[in-house]
Structure 1
Amino acid sequence: MHALSLPHDLLTVLCGSLVGFSLALIGGGGSILAVPLLLYVVGVHDPHRAIGTGAWAVAANALANLIPHARTGNVRWRAAFMFATAGVLGAFLGSTLGKLVDGRRLLLLFALLMLTIAALMLRGRRGHDGTGYPRRHMYPRLGIAGLGAGALAGFFGIGGGFLIVPGLVFASGMAMLDAVGTSLFCVGAFGFTAAINYAVSGLVTWSIAWEFVAGGIVGGWLGMLAAQKLSRKRGALTVLFAAVIVAVALFMLAKSLPT
């Protein structure tokens, strides 16, 4: 790619800030936002390259944003390791398959999956207060949910927060804020697995990826502060999480469908 101009650099950093803010606020939305931002704002024209670049940037941002959540006690480490261990295997298998699928069709399937997840989260939002944690047979449930979420995250080339957060909530019964913090560890693990697979195929634009990371660190600190405030309102984080998913899914459907 040609050398980026300064205004374009700043635009890329700002897009990264939005991604980091979303990750820290709702534990997801990183690649949900990163892929369309890379395609339609930054100007990465190849969907597979946008997915690979976004996966790398989101994974790095997730691990950076994990730090403030861990300091405030919002990370359930045992659940995180169980979910991530199973998910990494799924992410590798899913990302290998995803590279073989037409890019436009991949984005269309991605958007439809997002709408399904949003509906499931809204349906059970009143139970996301952590009173059911830990559930019986929590660790086998986390392993199954992690494998499935990792496979889907790898297939779509995403960090998978929008899959991981509901997976953690439904499998363990943890509170929404804890699921947001815990998911960042899993997002990093899934994202790097998929990103390495794409990078081996030359489908990562490194200059853009690191600009996204730089912006995302700043946005992440702001997002964590907002998450702490919203968590005091019952169901608010769940509703916001679903609203972001629906809005971006509809946008991607509009862009993906043939004109």
Structure 2
Amino acid sequence: MEAGTIAAVIASGALIGFVLGLVGGGGSILAVPLLVYIVGLDSPHAAIGTAAVAVALNAAAGLAGHARAGNVKWNCALVFAGAGMLGAAIGAEAGKAMNGQHLLAAFGGLMIVVGGLMLRGRKGGSDPDVHLDRTSARHLLPRLVGYGLGVGLLAGFFGIGGGFLIVPGLIAATAMPIGVAVGTSLVVVTALGATTAGSYALSGYVDWGLVAWLVAGGIAGSVLGRMAGVRLAARKNLLERGFAAVVIAVGAFVAATSL
């Protein structure tokens, strides 16, 4: 691997990590366009597979802190993740079967939708004590399975973590507060990312050398992002809206160039 390519991968990972540390989510959706247009991966499928591995590793790393803080509803997470893994496996097979340029164009369209959702903002639920047991399963289980399956299909198809869909899905299904939903979502992101990555890896669509450098850059970027986030906490809403506008613009560029 050439030095210029390694530098581009590290810089891309650092940007993703910085965004995640600064605004608390959404950065991973930049992974695929960065790998295609900055790093220069020829295959959109390889970009999706490689990004999925990095997404799963980043989510797993972030999960530990939320688990220690008690921000993970494990029963809800495991049901949502189980249904999501089934959806991700199906979605990944469908994505691999699609023409690469058409898949990239669809990914650009997804980015535009995601940016629009980010502009709307996120509101949490009102039930911090929600939990899945025999009593609550009757109404919680169908919702968790339904949302999990739908999100998993999209996550597998596009090779994304899907946190921007998982968090509102968990809130809609259970009415848990947003802080708990974010922590719980990392269990699901890890599971869906691993499922998608495994499917793409079996088809030879993961560049493991790129994964290592991408994660290394992401770790450094996330540290800087968290530091900047502390200083700019009062402007978080403005930062999130600015990032949403960037996602929409990049999505439009990806869709236009692919078509």
Query: For the superposition of Structure 1 and Structure 2, which TM-score range results when normalised by the shorter chain?
Result: 0.7 to 0.9
In the other structure, the counterpart of 2:126 is 131
Q: Does structure 2 retain, via aligned residues, the 8 Å contact 1:27–1:180?
A: no
* 2:55 aligned partner: 58
State yes or no: 1:33 paired with 2:30: yes
Equivalent residue of 1:99, what SS?
helix
Q: TM-score, normalised by structure 1?
A: 0.82
What are structure 2's unaligned runs of at least 5 residues?
none
CA distance in 1, matches of 2:231, 2:74: 23
Distance 1:15-1:256 versus aligned 2 partners, 3 A rule: same
Shift in Å at residue 47 of structure 1?
0.7
Structure 1 residues 107 and 49: CA distance shift in structure 2, 3 A: same
TM-score (norm 2): 0.82
Contact preservation (8 Å) 1:91, 1:153: yes
The two structures, once aligned, show a CA RMSD in angstroms of 3.0
Deviation at 1:238, TM superposition (A): 6.7
Paired residue for 1:108, among 105, 108, 117? Answer: 105
Contact 1:65–1:217 (Cα < 8 Å) also in 2: no
What are the superposed Cα offsets for residues 184-239 of structure 1, whole Å, 9 maximum, x if unpaired?
22111111111111111111111001111112223334545667888888967874
Match of 1:157 in 2: 159
Distance in 1, matches of 2:113 and 2:176, equals 21
Residue 249 of structure 1, CA deviation: 1.9
Long gaps (5+) in structure 1: none
For residue 7 of structure 2, what is the amino acid of its counterpart?
L
| Higher deviation after alignment, 106-115 or 149-158 | 106-115
The amino acid of 2:105's aligned partner reads L
Q: Is the 8 A contact 1:84 1:189 kept in 2?
A: yes
Distance in 2 of aligned mates of 1:4 and 1:207? 12
Aligned residues: 251
Matches within 5 A, 1:112-123: 112-120=109-117, 122-123=119-120
* 3-state SS in 2 of match to 1:194: helix
Q: Which whole-Å CA distance do the structure 1 matches of 2:249 and 2:70 have between them?
A: 30
Aligned to 2:211: 209
Matched ranges for 1:73-222 at <5 A: 73-120=70-117, 122-123=119-120, 125=121, 128-131=123-126, 134=130, 137-222=139-224
Higher alpha-carbon Rg: 2
